[in-house]
């Protein structure tokens, strides 16, 4: 009955689609020539942005700056998926205040477009379980959208802080017919315009002076849709955009610096953190710090104990209310509430170190989703995270207590290779590069003993995990509490040979340890794995084929990013069945290039065959050119994976 219902629903939907498609075909001639031209020009696109207009005004007002941004967006829907574009929302917050919004949909009927204005707007707080900020959204629905419909959105926002001018994008994941940006400012306001990914885009720029105003304009026409691809480091590395930066402005009496360089940015940041934790440390917090560090023999051991306590006991909840997104809360409050955001975790870490006479430095940093350096973009767009830095013996430790299970020596994976802005008091800062962890720090090591029982392969394995690999397992294991759930998890994660892999039993060692490797031992079986043909057995010892996961599509256009560098070592020892001899053993194989190395070897002993596979994946990001090299090499390795051992029964 259930199956019949589903099929009936499918066929009903199918006939509806046919009828709907037929009606579209009948009405197709009713659409204006513009629609047919654009549909033919962009056959893969569901809509095109006809008009994308931005007008920005920046004026001196009462010794400060008044900034207003006006937007006009007009879209034309090119197929029947138009209904999916009905829902729309606009975000606003303390820093970006919505002043007015008008939204209209247009349907082409009887030779002309007829307008229907949106009347209902619903305001929502945008809250998630672990993220709370003052962002709100204005939600609405365009009525009656269908193929050939248009929408027009006009809205105005007030920018409350001159450091938060929005980036201007000149391309997107949809085609754009016309994009025009006009920035009008009083002539004594100074700007810098930083361009990204604009090299291959014919953007027309003009600057003119007119009645005490400077007018900057940018315009581009007929921009093709940019292909969306998963695992791109960040869309900001793809989309062409310009970031306007107000460097300074002159008032009647003075010149005011805004964001001319990194020092200006740091000075603004410092002004918001200089007065935190000036009160005496909470007595209970001080007592706790002395308690957890009393047996420590070195300063670094004290840092380790404090850091791990914070990770374990201060729950990460992200709060971003107004300037609260930049100002850490008092350490005493964080201690008493037992939760906080990245700034709050850094605040309590700093205070706890201070209790034992050590110094930590508040540090601003951007995650790997942000492609900018501090020198090229000294604005709040360059970073989105705060950690604490601790320096000892010329080595800097980057402490991110928002994470879980992070050992002292490892930064969060998502800040590897990023610039860190390390504060050291008023006007004093340094910029350091967070190190990228070497592949062998993030290891997956596996030793397996194998026995054949007919065509079933039975095994006992020991898997040892370290670094980010271990942390990934820990974070996922937190979701499972029963033995059945954990066993199912390991059956998925440790699968080898085929999808018939089943774990019989398992044991865990050093689970959730910060500094020790995590070890799992387990017994397993893979039914119907070996092939028996008369007195011959064929078996493939390439049970783990991890490298295939690093292969990308051959036609990929953009960079691809991975969480961390990694190292894999697999040792499989097969007991040769009684009364069988090795008739064929594959040759050893080795391949290496600038990105990874692979070694596969086979060794026959008296009554066993030992197989070893070793992989070193030494990259975080691959360009399209790099991907071609990597793909070509992986295909050679995958060919080696087809090699099997041939055992023959002895006479």
Could you tell me the CATH number of the domain that includes residue 232?
A: 2.60.40.3140
**pLDDT for res 16:** 37
226 and 285 in a single domain? The answer is: no
**Residue 639: exposure state from Cβ atoms within 10 A (0-12, 13-18, ≥19):** exposed
**pLDDT for res 7:** 36
Residue 265 lies in a domain: no
**pLDDT for res 131:** 37
Taking residues 471-490, report their average pLDDT.
96
Contact 376, 194 (CB under 8 A): yes
Look over the chain and give the mean of its residue pLDDT values, rounded to a whole number: 92
Q: Measured in whole angstroms, how far is the alpha carbon of residue 261 from the centre of its chain?
A: 28
Structural domain including 602 reads 439-649
291 and 334 in a single domain? The answer is: yes
pLDDT in tens, 290-343: 999 999 999 999 999 999 999 999 998 876 555 556 889 999 999 999 998 999
**pLDDT for res 85:** 87
227 and 343 in a single domain? The answer is: no
Phi, psi (degrees; rounded to nearest 5) at 391: -120, 135
| Residue 612 pLDDT > 60 | yes
DSSP 8-state secondary structure symbol assigned to residue 165:
P
Could you tell me the CATH number of the domain that includes residue 625?
A: 2.60.120.1130
Can you give the length of the chain in residues? 651
Residue 261 lies in a domain: no
Contact 573, 609 (CB under 8 A): yes
Phi, psi (degrees; rounded to nearest 5) at 632: -60, -40
Last residue of some domain: 413, 433, 453? 433
Residue 267 lies in a domain: no
613 and 477 in a single domain? The answer is: yes
User: Poorest-confidence range of 79-88, 353-362, 591-600?
Assistant: 79-88
Helices (H) and strands (E) in the chain, counts: 10, 37
**pLDDT for res 23:** 41
Residue 263 lies in a domain: no
Last residue of some domain: 403, 433, 463? 433
Contact 350, 331 (CB under 8 A): yes
**pLDDT for res 95:** 85
Strands of 251-332 (E only): list them. Answer: 255-257, 315-316, 318-320
Contact 502, 524 (CB under 8 A): yes
**pLDDT for res 441:** 98
203 and 124 in a single domain? The answer is: yes
616 and 467 in a single domain? The answer is: yes
**pLDDT for res 125:** 77
**pLDDT for res 13:** 38
Residues whose CB is less than 8 angstroms from the CB of residue 135 and which lie 6 or more positions away in sequence, other chains included? 91, 92, 93, 125, 126, 320
184 and 235 in a single domain? The answer is: yes
Beta bridge partners of 386: 364
pLDDT in tens, 119-159: 999 998 765 433 334 678 899 999 999 999 999 999 999 99
448 and 563 in a single domain? The answer is: yes
Q: Which residue has the tokens 């990001």?
A: 621
Residue 268 lies in a domain: no
222 and 182 in a single domain? The answer is: yes
Beta bridge partners of 91: 137
Residue 241 lies in a domain: yes
Could you tell me the CATH number of the domain that includes residue 366?
A: 3.10.620.30
424 and 471 in a single domain? The answer is: no
Q: How far apart are CA 361 and CA 25, in angstroms?
A: 66
Taking residues 216-240, report their average pLDDT.
94
**Cβ atoms within 10 A of the Cβ of 650, count?**
9
Last residue of some domain: 224, 256, 288? 256
> Terminus-to-terminus CA distance in the chain, angstroms?
59
Residue 487 lies in a domain: yes
Q: How far apart are CA 148 and CA 25, in angstroms?
A: 12
- Among 330, 340, 328, 329, which Cα is nearest to 130's? 340
| Residue 411 pLDDT > 50 | yes
444 and 428 in a single domain? The answer is: no
Question: What is the pLDDT confidence band of residue 17, given thresholds at 50, 70 and 90?
Answer: very low
DSSP-based helix, strand, coil % in the chain, nearest 5: 25, 40, 35
**pLDDT for res 324:** 59
110 and 245 in a single domain? The answer is: yes
Residue 269 lies in a domain: no
> In this structure, what token pair is assigned to residue 257?
């610096």
DSSP 8-state secondary structure symbol assigned to residue 228:
P
Give the per-residue SS3 of 374-438.
Answer: CCCCCCHHHCCEEEEEEEECCEEEEECCCCCCCCCCCCCHHHCCCEEEEECCCCCEEEEECCCCC
Q: How many domains does the structure of the chain reveal?
A: 4
Question: What is the pLDDT confidence band of residue 233, given thresholds at 50, 70 and 90?
Answer: confident
Taking residues 197-211, report their average pLDDT.
96
Using alpha carbons, list the distances in angstroms from residue 463 to 518, 523, 547, 628: 8, 11, 17, 32
| Residue 243 pLDDT > 50 | yes
pLDDT in tens, 76-118: 999 999 999 899 999 888 889 999 999 999 999 988 999 999 9
**pLDDT for res 322:** 55
132 compared with 32, residue with greater pLDDT: 32
């Amino acid at each position: 009955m259930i199956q019949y219902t589903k099929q009936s629903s499918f066929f009903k939907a199918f006939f509806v689609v046919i009828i709907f498609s037929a009606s579209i075909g009948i009405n197709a001639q009713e659409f204006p020539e513009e629609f047919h031209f654009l549909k033919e020009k962009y056959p893969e696109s569901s809509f095109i942005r006809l008009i994308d207009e931005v007008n920005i005004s920046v004026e001196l007002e009462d010794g400060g700056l008044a900034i207003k941004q006006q937007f006009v967006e007009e879209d034309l829907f090119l197929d029947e998926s138009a209904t999916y574009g009905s829902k729309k929302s606009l975000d606003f917050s303390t820093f970006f205040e919505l002043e007015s919004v008008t939204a209209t949909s247009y349907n082409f009927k009887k030779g002309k477009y007829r307008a229907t204005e949106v009347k209902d707007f619903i305001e929502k707080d945008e809250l998630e379980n672990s993220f709370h900020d003052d962002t709100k959204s204005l939600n609405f629905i365009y009525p009656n959208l269908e193929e050939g419909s248009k929408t027009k959105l006009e809205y105005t926002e007030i920018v409350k802080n001159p450091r938060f001018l929005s980036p201007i994008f000149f391309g997107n994941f949809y085609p754009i017919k016309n994009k025009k940006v006009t920035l009008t400012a009083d002539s004594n306001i100074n700007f810098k315009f930083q361009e990204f990914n604009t090299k291959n885009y014919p953007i027309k720029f003009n600057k003119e002076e007119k009645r005490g105003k400077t007018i900057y304009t940018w315009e581009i026409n007929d921009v093709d849709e940019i292909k969306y691809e998963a695992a791109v480091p960040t869309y900001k590395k793809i989309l062409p955009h310009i970031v306007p930066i107000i460097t300074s402005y002159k008032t009647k009496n003075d010149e005011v610096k805004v964001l001319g360089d990194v020092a200006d940015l740091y000075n603004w940041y410092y002004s918001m953190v200089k007065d935190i934790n000036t009160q005496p440390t909470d007595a209970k917090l001080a007592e706790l710090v002395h308690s957890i560090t009393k047996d420590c023999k070195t300063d670094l051991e004290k840092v380790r104990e404090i850091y791990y306590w914070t990770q374990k006991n201060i729950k990460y909840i992200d709060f971003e209310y107004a300037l609260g997104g930049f100002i850490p809360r008092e350490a005493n409050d964080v201690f008493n509430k037992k939760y906080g955001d990245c700034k709050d975790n850094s605040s309590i870490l700093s205070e706890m170190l201070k209790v034992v006479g050590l110094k930590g430095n508040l540090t601003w940093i951007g995650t790997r989703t942000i492609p900018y350096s501090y020198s090229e973009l000294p604005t709040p767009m360059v970073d989105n995270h705060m950690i604490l830095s601790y320096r000892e013996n010329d080595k800097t430790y980057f402490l991110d207590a928002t994470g879980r299970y992070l050992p002292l020596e490892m930064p969060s994976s998502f800040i590897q290779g990023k610039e860190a802005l390390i504060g050291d008091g008023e006007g004093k800062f340094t910029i350091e590069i967070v190190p990228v962890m070497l592949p062998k720090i993030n290891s997956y090591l596996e030793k397996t003993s194998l026995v054949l029982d007919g065509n079933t392969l039975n095994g006992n394995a020991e898997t040892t995990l370290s670094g980010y690999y271990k942390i990934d397992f820990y974070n996922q294991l937190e979701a499972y509490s029963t033995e059945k759930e954990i066993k199912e998890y390991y059956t998925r994660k440790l699968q080898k040979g085929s999808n018939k892999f089943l774990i019989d039993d398992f044991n865990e060692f050093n689970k959730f340890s910060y500094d020790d490797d995590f070890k799992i031992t387990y017994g397993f079986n893979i039914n119907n794995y070996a092939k028996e043909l008369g007195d011959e057995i064929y078996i493939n010892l390439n049970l783990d084929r991890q490298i295939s996961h690093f292969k990308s599509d051959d036609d990929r256009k953009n960079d691809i990013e991975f969480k961390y560098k990694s190292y894999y070592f697999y040792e499989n020892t097969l007991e040769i069945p009684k009364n069988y001899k090795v008739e064929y053993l594959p040759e050893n194989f080795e391949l290496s290039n600038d990105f990874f190395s692979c070694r596969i070897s086979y060794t026959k002993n008296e009554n066993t065959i030992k197989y070893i596979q070793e992989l070193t994946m030494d990259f975080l990001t691959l360009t399209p050119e790099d991907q071609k090299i990597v793909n070509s090499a992986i295909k050679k390795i995958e060919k080696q994976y087809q090699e099997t051992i041939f055992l023959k029964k002895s006479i």
